Amino acid sequence: MSDVPLPLDLLDPAVFDVHDEVAAALRAGAAVVALESTIISHGLPRPENLRVATEVEDIVRSRGAVPATIAVLDGRVRIGLDDDALDQVAQRDDIVKVSSRDLATIVARGGSGATTVAATSHIAHLAGIEVFATGGLGGVHRQARDSWDESADLGALSVTPVTVVCSGVKSILDVSATLERLETLNVGVLGYGTNQFPGFYLSDSGHPVHWSVDSADAVADIMGSRRALNIPSALVVAYPLPQNAQLDPDLHHDVLEEGLRRAAARNITGKDVTPFLLDHFHRATHGASLLVNEQIIVRNSELAARIATARAASPEVSRSGAAS
Ligand code: PSU
Ligand code: MN
């Protein structure tokens, strides 16, 4: 054991509540996967949200990693949720969508909220969790030229050294502009088993990725190099759905056009845009997009668990007990 304190030991116990199982895994240098909670509270409808959240935790465990779903409940940042806490995130009406900038206010006021990719990455990194799974990242919205709506996920990923497994960015966004921003912001992007950037509901966004990997070990190697090089930004592992599992592209096109029209007509802005469009998809496709979204999250979590396991087995991590 090294005498350097673990990131975990530096968390203020007045603010953070780390689940015993997660703390034990981090102390042992074992595999842990961070999971966001906005997807549960605002990305998926009830009651499917709780079922999917549980399924995701189960698949992470089945691959030998410990799931650490992150949320704020009654002013405490919870890292790893028990059944009751997961249930609260899924069911409570007072759960707000919490991005990085909202975290301190929610905590100080004793409020409750579900963390976005931006906020979850920040907390995962504070706790020393290196791998994080989600569905699709936020990014540049299609009307950004007028609205300036760009997800805080991008800014957060540029300053947070975590590895995020996702199916690209949400297809409701301007994917090409988002890829340009990821480049500007120094966020690493790897295609997993593909040379094409995935398109969330769609297997292929139509844009290439410049680096491709084919195994969890290859991702773990790159994570090791990034640490040695002290790269301060995130690494995005973009994992597409197989073609036969994607949403029908014509249906996707029509539903998105209609959703964007409705969002504009109803003056939906700011952090309500993404939940509004995802909800529109789930309704307008009669649940087809929900099924696709579920598969995306489950597959990404499964891969994240394999990457976390590969990383935990790498000599650098095993030697020190845990990465510092
Ligand atoms: N991925 C999904 N569903 C979601 C999200 C991601 O499959 O609901 C959430 C994430 O929490 C992400 C957020 O950070 O949407 C982006 O919101 P915005 O565009 O307002 O930044
Ligand atoms: Mn936004």
Q: What digits encode the pLDDT tens for the residues 149-160?
A: 999 999 999 999
Mutate which of 153, 277, 280, 282 for ligand 1? The one with the most ligand atoms within 8 Å of its CB, which is 153
Mean pLDDT of 77-98: 98
Task: Look at ligand 1, atom 7, and give the residue with the nearest C-alpha.
Answer: 135
Mean pLDDT of 36-65: 97
Task: Look at ligand 1, atom 8, and give the residue with the nearest C-alpha.
Answer: 43
138 lines ligand 1 (CB under 6 A): yes
**Helix axes 117-127 and 100-108, enclosed angle (nearest 10):** 70
Give the C-alpha separation, 49 to 171, whole Å.
Answer: 20
151 lines ligand 1 (CB under 6 A): yes
Give the C-alpha separation, 279 to 284, whole Å.
Answer: 8
Contact between 236 and 137 (Cβ < 8 Å) = yes
Other C-beta atoms closer than 10 Å to the C-beta of 228 total: 9
Atom of ligand 1 nearest to the CA of 274: 19
117 lines ligand 1 (CB under 6 A): yes
Per-residue pLDDT tens for 288-320?
999 999 999 999 999 999 999 999 998 777 655
Ligand nearest to the CA of 289: 1
Q: How far is the CA of 238 from the centre of ligand 2 (A)?
A: 21
Q: What is the pTM of this model?
A: 0.96
Ligand nearest to the CA of 274: 1
Between 108 and 318, where is the model more confident? 108
Atom of ligand 1 nearest to the CA of 293: 7
Q: Is the pLDDT of residue 1 over 70?
A: no
Amino acid, res. 38: T
Q: How far is the CA of 42 from the centre of ligand 1 (A)?
A: 8
Give the C-alpha separation, 246 to 311, whole Å.
Answer: 29
What local confidence, expressed as pLDDT, does residue 324 receive? 45
Mean pLDDT of 76-89: 98
Phi, psi angles (nearest 5°) of residue 27: -65, -35
134 lines ligand 1 (CB under 6 A): yes
Give the C-alpha separation, 229 to 15, whole Å.
Answer: 31
> Helix or strand or coil: residue 94?
coil
Domains of the chain: 9-312 (3.40.1790.10)
Q: Is the pLDDT of residue 323 over 80?
A: no
> Helix or strand or coil: residue 151?
coil
Q: How far is the CA of 320 from the centre of ligand 1 (A)?
A: 34
What local confidence, expressed as pLDDT, does residue 318 receive? 63
Based on the residue annotation, tell me whether 170 is a catalytic residue of this protein: yes
Atom of ligand 1 nearest to the CA of 272: 20
Per-residue pLDDT tens for 173-223?
999 999 999 999 999 999 999 999 999 999 999 999 999 999 999 999 999
Atom of ligand 1 nearest to the CA of 200: 7
**Pairing mode, if any, of strands 196-199 and 202-208?**
antiparallel
Residue 243 DSSP symbol? G
Q: How far is the CA of 270 from the centre of ligand 2 (A)?
A: 5
Matching residue, tokens 């006021």: 109
What local confidence, expressed as pLDDT, does residue 320 receive? 56
Mutate which of 274, 291, 298 for ligand 1? The one with the most ligand atoms within 8 Å of its CB, which is 274
Per-residue pLDDT tens for 236-264?
999 999 999 999 999 999 999 999 999 99
Nearest CA to 316 out of 231, 215, 212, 222 is that of 222
How confident is the prediction for the chain on average, in pLDDT?
95
What local confidence, expressed as pLDDT, does residue 316 receive? 76
What local confidence, expressed as pLDDT, does residue 269 receive? 92
